[in-house]
Structure formats: structure tokens, C-alpha cells
Amino acid sequence: MAMKYYLIAIILLSISLSSFSQKITRQEYINRYQLLSIEEMNRSGIPASITMAQGILESGSGNSELAKRSNNHFGIKCKKGWKGKKVYYDDDHKDECFRKYTSVEESYIDHTNFLMDNPRYAFLFQLKHTDYKGWAKGLKKAGYATAHDYDKRLIKIIEDHKLHRLDLKMTFNEISSFEQRSMGRSGISNSLTINAYRSHEVMKMNRVKAVIARQGDTFEMLAQEFGLNDWELYKFNDHRPGYRPVPNEIVYIQAKKSKSKDKTTHRVQEGESMHYISQMYGIKLKTLCRKNGMNPGQMPQIGQIVKLR
């Protein structure tokens, strides 16, 4: 009987170790924590792309020992005044003190607080939340990490994985005409909300005013808030009457432009439709299709170069 329980214990230990050793990919990490990075941007103004890129770089996409055992995804050391749990690892020096968290969410929140409460990072908050390059260079200048190319590493991660979408509150769910399916949210509490605003914040995309849809929003509700007719919102966003926006979708409250101001082309990624691209760049769908010899509703090919001007 003792041998039986011994074997069971060995099997359970093996399963546990196997599970612990499994690595997640960068894209899996992005899918898992994208909403958390957006939430922290809402709270602080720190670009979600920067938070996500730092999490990827500092934690090895959640695979580092510090991340797995201590939920520390940003390599934040104890520093003076830290009253939470501690763990010790060799880094620049032997047995350095790092902060230990009870959840990944707690790590993301503390990362935001760490930057907001430290005077040496104060100048960064004068930058726009869409200026990820400025933030990356500023973090290096402020000495967040010792790597001489820290800013370049962050920028490469952001651009390789299109993380600037997160700064526009566009998630990386599988997207087809903005129909988004829920992704896993392991490590994020049920109390997490995506939009902390009491009223919709107006931003500009391609010089066109837009807002981010929340759970339960309709075009009728948004039209009432901004003094518009609901048919105008359907027209501005190239949707048929009756369509309901999904959370985190861009909703234009002005007519989109006929071309992009800043970019000339866009390379199509998996799951992107012409409507998705038109919303991303604030360009009228019919005009965008006409520029590229396509019909509205026709899907572009992965890797296709779409003209934006």
C-alpha cells in the first residue's frame, strides 16, 4: 500500500513539474494579459504597448523563474520602503531582493504605481499614450534597465507584434469585421474592467473624432451622448442598421477621411478584413476598397499590401 501511494506521489509530482516547465509563446502571453495592459493604461496613461513589451522582455513572456514563482513580470526590485513579500535572485549582484506578488494582476498594478510614484519617471507622463518610441527611450534614459539597447528592444517587440494596437484599445482577439471572441484571461481578477471612464473619452484617429465602445453600448446610446442621429454613426462606421459595437471597438463620431495622413500602405495580417483596416486608419471603407480594386466585403490576402492613399 505504501508503494502504491509512493508511485501516485511520484506521478503527481511529475505532472506538476511538467506543467511548470511548459513555456508559453509571446503571442499567448499577449492574448492572456492584453486586457490588463489596457486597464493600466486607462488608469495611468502609460502606453499599453510599453507595459506589454516590458512584461515580455523582463519576464521572458512569463517564462522566467521570477515570473513563475513570484509573479514578478517586470523585474522590479524591493527598493527602499517595499513592505510586501520578498524573494532573492542573482541579477547584477548576488542574492538581490525582488518583489513577490500574489498574482500577475498585482505585478501589473505595482509596475504602474512604481512608474507613477518615482520622480525620475515623471517626465514620461508628459508624453502621449500613443508615443511608444518616446516612452521606450525615456525608460532607458531614466535607467529602468542597464541594457544599453533597452529602448531598441522594447520598440522591436512592439513593432514585431503590432502592440501599438493596444494603445488604441484594440485587442488581439481573432478579428473579422471587429467580431471578437473572448481570449483566456488567466491571472486577471473578475473585478477587472476595461474602461474606467464615466463618460466616453474622445480621441482622434487620422484627424477624425472617435471613442472606444464599452460593454452594452449601442449606436443609439452613443448618438444620444454626442448629439448625433443613430443613422450617422452607422454611416460613419460602415455598418448596417442594427449592428451593435463590441467592447474596445473604435466608433467614429465623425465621417472618416478618404486617405491616411501618416501612412501610405498597410501589410495585411491574419484575420484582418478591409473593414477592420478602414477602422484602424480612419478611412472610408468604399474609398479604401476602390483604391485597391476591391469590393466591400471582399477579404484581402495575408501579406497583401493595401494602399492607404
Query: Is it the case that residue 13 has pLDDT exceeding 60?
Result: no
Convert the pLDDT of each residue in 162-210 to its tens digit.
Answer: 999 888 877 665 332 232 333 333 433 333 333 333 367 888 888 889 9
Please name the fold of domain 25-63+109-167. Answer: Lysozyme (1.10.530)
Convert the pLDDT of each residue in 265-301 to its tens digit.
Answer: 899 888 888 889 899 899 999 999 999 998 877 898 9
Convert the pLDDT of each residue in 40-69 to its tens digit.
Answer: 888 888 999 999 999 999 999 999 999 999
What is the separation, in whole angstroms, between the first and last Cα of the chain? 76
d(CA 78, CA 176): 44
State mean pLDDT over 70-88. 89
Domain boundaries, the chain: 25-63+109-167, 265-307
Q: Tell me the pLDDT of the chain averaged across its residues.
A: 81
CA distances from 241 to 47, 180, 219 (A): 34, 19, 9
d(CA 262, CA 120): 32
| Whole-prediction pTM | 0.54
What single letter denotes the amino acid at residue 25?
Answer: T
Query: Is it the case that residue 6 has pLDDT exceeding 90?
Result: no
Q: Does domain 265-307 have CATH number 3.30.70?
A: no
pLDDT of 160:
92
